[in-house]
Amino acid sequence: MTTPLLHLGLLVRDQRRSLRFYATYFGFDSAGARRYPDGTVIVRNAQGFDLALHPGDPPDRLPAFVHFGFQLPDAGAVVALLARMEADGVPILERFDEPGYVAFKCLDPDGWRVEAYWEQVS
């Protein structure tokens, strides 16, 4: 049985800013965001993935390998999103353009490493 990963919780300093970032670049529906009694805001994307934005201060330093990613439908979508983010001044950390794999990693407003990628499935 396959069990999909369907949510991620992040500490964020400014929930509105984070909601804008994830709505703008990764298709989360900020209009449908729900606030819970503990202050957490949960926002969902079209695939049913929930992003839980907890108020607080993210850790100052995490190992460079710690990240999460969004799979895009094709290499062109990755290239287009990268161009949008660069034009908007989003910090880009790494880029990959190899046969069968196109990706980049950026920083969200709180310094979380986010990957956008396309990988050819054999």
| Fold annotation for 1-57 | 2,3-Dihydroxybiphenyl 1,2-Dioxygenase; domain 1 (3.10.180)
The pLDDT tens digits of the residues spanning 81-91 come to 999 999 999 99
Q: Are 101 and 109 in contact (CB under 8 A)?
A: no
**CA 1 from centroid of its chain's CA atoms:** 26
For the entire predicted model, the pTM comes to 0.91
Which DSSP state fits 60? Answer: S
The pLDDT tens digits of the residues spanning 7-56 come to 999 999 999 999 999 999 999 998 999 999 999 999 999 999 999 999 99
Q: Where in the chain is the domain with CATH 3.10.180.10?
A: 1-57, 59-122
Q: At what angle do helices 75-87 and 15-26 cross, to 10 degrees?
A: 140
**CATH of the structural domain 59-122, one choice from 3.40.140.10, 1.20.120.1200, 3.10.180.10, 3.20.20.70:** 3.10.180.10
Sort 109 into a burial class: Cβ within 10 Å, 0-12 / 13-18 / 19+: middle
Which pLDDT score is estimated for 21? 97
Return the residue matching tokens 């964020």.
12
13 contact partners, CB below 8 Å, separation of at least 6: 55, 56, 57, 58, 109, 110
Which pLDDT score is estimated for 26? 96
